[in-house]
Chain A
């Protein structure tokens, strides 16, 4: 179980770093959605199922949809 938790935290850090280093904003939005999904699993492991449910619904669902809708109206690549 400890291995799974360590793997989740490692993936979380990797995703967080990847979001800030990606130039393609659409990829960044998708990686951010993956970050939220991993974060929801971590919340569940920390025995906070209420927060996990909110994180999965808002972070992985609504936020990425709003980001993608915004990218569709503006530029896709960072200058």
Chain B
């Protein structure tokens, strides 16, 4: 695909789509959305970039091994955060009972563990959705 309008629009829209995805991930515990929906929006932004510029341009932005690393790192980060509860003697994914400060209602850095869990899920989902499309794109 070699279309000037598509390329320029994709180059213009790409940062805004990523910003919106990050907004949904970071405000997952305050407003609708969360790690999954935000991660999918981020992945859709990367897919739009791949459609317009080809997968070689995406790999010069972020190489292949970083995508596979992000997939594993998101899952490992989530499990590590869950195990923190067990290490302090509570149940898996324990939040306030494991000693995380809850903060105030409506504040961005509140609700203890949930903020970091959303971040882990967002990382995992965004990289998985993008590699899913890249595997189809790369085959020829």
Q: What residues make up the interface of A, taking CB atoms closer than 8 Å to B?
A: 49-50, 52-54, 57-58, 61-62, 65-66, 69-70, 73
Contacts and interface: CB of A to CB of B under 8 A. Distances in A.
Nearest to A44: B32
Contacts of A49: 32
A65 B47 CA distance: 9
B136 A61 contact: no
A69 B40 contact: no
Contact of B37 (A50, A66, A70, A73): A50
List the 7 closest pairs (A to B, CB-CB), nearest first.
A49-B32, A57-B40, A61-B44, A69-B136, A53-B37, A50-B32, A54-B37
B131 to A, nearest CB: 12
Size class of the B contact interface (CB-based, 8 Å): 10 to 19
A53 B24 contact: yes
B70 to A, nearest CB: 17
Contact of B34 (A50, A62, A66, A73): A50
B41 interface: yes
Contact of A50 (B33, B133, B136): B33
B41 A57 contact: yes
Given A69-B133, A69-B136, A73-B139, A62 B40 contact: yes
A57 B34 CA distance: 12
24 contacts: A50-B32, A50-B33, A50-B34, A50-B37, A53-B24, A53-B32, A53-B33, A53-B37, A54-B36, A54-B37, A54-B40, A57-B40, A57-B44, A61-B40, A62-B40, A62-B47, A62-B129, A65-B47, A65-B51, A65-B133, A66-B132, A66-B133, A66-B136, A69-B133
B85 interface: no
Contacts of A65: 44, 47, 51, 133
Nearest to A54: B37
Nearest to A49: B32
A70 B129 CA distance: 15
B107 interface: no
Nearest to A56: B37
